[in-house]
Amino acid sequence: MPPRRDQAQDATLAALVAQRIAAVIPNLITQINQVNNNNNNNNAQCSFKTFNSAKPLKFYGSQGATTLLQWFESLESTFRHVQCPNERKVEFASSVFEKHALTWWNSVMRDRGAEVALAQTWEELRALMMREFCPRHEIRALKREFDDLKQDKENTVLTRIVMRS
């Protein structure tokens, strides 16, 4: 017959097991929650369908600097609304190019390679588009127009000062 343990040893052993389990369970629950959160985040990330359902503005590339800047603002608002991840912004933005902008983008893809063109950041694409679609003379004219704006005496209305010489 095997030797008998006394009840004190059994209680000590049970307490030790309970203590170890109590230490392991919170970490296990944290790991399970992290896996669930990662899976939910991947499912919640913006898909092409979600992006298109937000009806992003098309960009044609022939409307000038002001329209381009407005398009940037509109698209960034769409990105926020649909929670578009940074790594998909160039792909989604280029999907709304039409006419001249689409021709230009296809040449960028040919020259750089599709992987390289699509791997650039949204900020890099914006800078590239500014160089292509914002002629310097138009930027200078916009700056002059901005410089001509002055506040009136009441500080209530912006007015244009016409310089006559």
**Does 69 share its domain with 116?**
yes
Decide if 24 is inside a domain: yes
Decide if 10 is inside a domain: no
* pLDDT interval class at 150 (50, 70, 90): low
Which percentage of the chain shows pLDDT scores above 90?
41
**Does 129 share its domain with 146?**
yes
Residue span of the structural domain in which 35 resides: 15-44
**Does 62 share its domain with 22?**
no
Which percentage of the chain shows pLDDT scores above 70?
79
The dihedral sign for the CA sequence 66, 71, 74, 77: negative
In terms of pTM, does the model score above 0.75? Answer: no
What is the 3 state secondary structure string of 115-127? HHHHHCCHHHHHH
Longest alpha-carbon distance in the chain: 119
**Does 78 share its domain with 104?**
yes
What residues are paired with 160 via a beta bridge? 149
pLDDT at 165: 44
**Does 118 share its domain with 55?**
yes
What residues are paired with 149 via a beta bridge? 160
- Please give the tally of structural domains in the chain: 2
> For residue range 89-134, what is the model confidence (pLDDT) as tens digits?
999 999 999 999 999 999 999 999 999 999 999 999 999 999 888 8
**Does 125 share its domain with 113?**
yes
**Does 119 share its domain with 56?**
yes
**Does 82 share its domain with 112?**
yes
How far apart are alpha carbons 23 and 19 in whole angstroms?
6
> For residue range 43-77, what is the model confidence (pLDDT) as tens digits?
456 888 999 889 999 999 888 888 898 999 999 99
CB 102 within 8 A of CB 133: no
How far apart are alpha carbons 55 and 65 in whole angstroms?
22
**Does 26 share its domain with 98?**
no
